């Protein structure tokens, strides 16, 4: 199994060095494989520590680390908000707001430029795409994307019935959001065919409670409906971040992580591709500033 590290945007870890604050977080991806135990990948911007005379050599512990400890390097890279995805921020559209109203050409060009700039020409490592504003699924996405899609269709077809409008909103959102998600995977694979391309957090599970020992049934259905996303990927990157408070204990934390791994294995089996499964692991709890206990580290 392989493990890796990711920068957490919502719950960053803070290290105070000589009065400065450097935000670091750890993500571990896990490839289930009988040939060896697991590899740990260092995906932390610790290169910034060098300005304070601090050099972190994670490779001495057997951790796979980018050459010169750069964040976008030869072993692992993660792209936050890749390309030019549309989204809604504070009820205002960004880049068109919804995929029906955005430019796929601009999206692809920006992503191509970003990959060209950040990845070495011979890159063969882990390459993660992280976009979490909405899903390539109308049903799973937040209400503002549904409302905006309905308004978009209504403006184009003012004489349609509400039922016709909603049907078209669902259809066009699903079709265009698929294009925006899928095209980056195909382009990444074209540019770096030996790299491991996939989206962070997929497949989802949403078993976020301490006694939820299975993925949400409707999420499992949507994972099957989004099998095209997994098929276009060359690795899966589910999240196994765990929680500390609100009724959680070591047993429930372990089961919570295990269920997410099992869902990724199920999805992989269904698409018929033996691609790596690389769960994102964080060394702090998702709802606390505390570091994981040795027991929770071992269990997860």
Residues identified as active-site:
132
- 3-state SS of the chain: helix, strand, coil percent to 5? 40, 15, 45
What is residue 101's three-state secondary structure? helix
Rounded CA-CA distance 100/244 in Å is 40
Rounded CA-CA distance 170/147 in Å is 11
By CB atoms closer than 10 A (0-12, 13-18, 19+), residue 183 is: middle
What is residue 1's three-state secondary structure? coil
Q: Are strands 39-42 and 87-89 parallel, antiparallel or unpaired?
A: unpaired
Q: Which residues of 5-34 are buried (b: 16+ CB within 10 A; e: fewer)?
A: bbbbeeeebeeeeeeeebebbbbbbbbeee
Angle at 197 between CA 191 and CA 203, to 5 degrees: 155
CA 221, 225, 229, 233 torsion-angle sign:
positive
Are 44 and 64 in contact, with CB atoms under 8 Å apart? no
Q: How far apart are the first and last CA of the chain?
A: 12
| Element spanning 231, H or E | helix 227-232
Peptide bond before residue 203 is cis, with ω within 30 degrees of 0 = yes
Rounded CA-CA distance 156/253 in Å is 48
């Amino acid at each position: 199994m392989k493990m890796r590290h990711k920068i957490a945007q919502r719950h960053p870890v803070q290290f105070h060095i000589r009065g400065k604050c450097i935000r670091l977080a750890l993500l571990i991806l896990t490839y289930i494989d009988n040939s060896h135990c697991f590899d740990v990948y260092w995906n932390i911007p610790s290169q910034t520590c060098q300005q304070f005379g601090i050099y972190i050599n994670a490779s001495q512990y057997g951790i796979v680390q980018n050459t010169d400890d750069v964040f976008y390097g030869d072993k692992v890279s993660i792209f936050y908000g890749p390309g030019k995805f549309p989204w809604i921020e504070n009820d205002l559209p960004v880049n068109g707001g919804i995929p029906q109203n955005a430019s796929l050409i601009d999206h692809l060009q920006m992503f191509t430029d970003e990959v060209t700039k950040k990845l070495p020409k011979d890159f063969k490592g882990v390459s993660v795409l992280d976009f979490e504003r909405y899903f390539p699924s109308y049903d799973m996405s937040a209400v503002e994307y549904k409302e905006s899609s309905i308004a978009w269709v209504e403006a184009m077809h003012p004489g349609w019935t509400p039922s016709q409008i909603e049907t078209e909103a669902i259809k066009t959102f699903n079709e265009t959001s698929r294009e925006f998600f899928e095209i980056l995977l195909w382009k990444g694979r074209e540019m770096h065919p030996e790299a491991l391309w996939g989206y962070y957090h997929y497949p989802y599970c949403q078993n976020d409670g301490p006694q939820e020992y299975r993925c949400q049934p409707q999420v499992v259905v949507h994972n099957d409906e989004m099998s095209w996303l997994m098929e276009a990927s060359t690795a899966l990157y589910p999240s196994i971040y765990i929680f500390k408070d609100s009724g959680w204990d070591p047993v429930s934390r372990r089961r919570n992580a295990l269920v997410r791994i099992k869902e990724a294995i199920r999805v992989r089996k269904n698409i018929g591709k033996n691609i790596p499964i690389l769960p994102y692991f964080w060394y702090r709890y998702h709802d606390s500033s505390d570091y994981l206990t040795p027991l929770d580290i071992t269990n997860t």
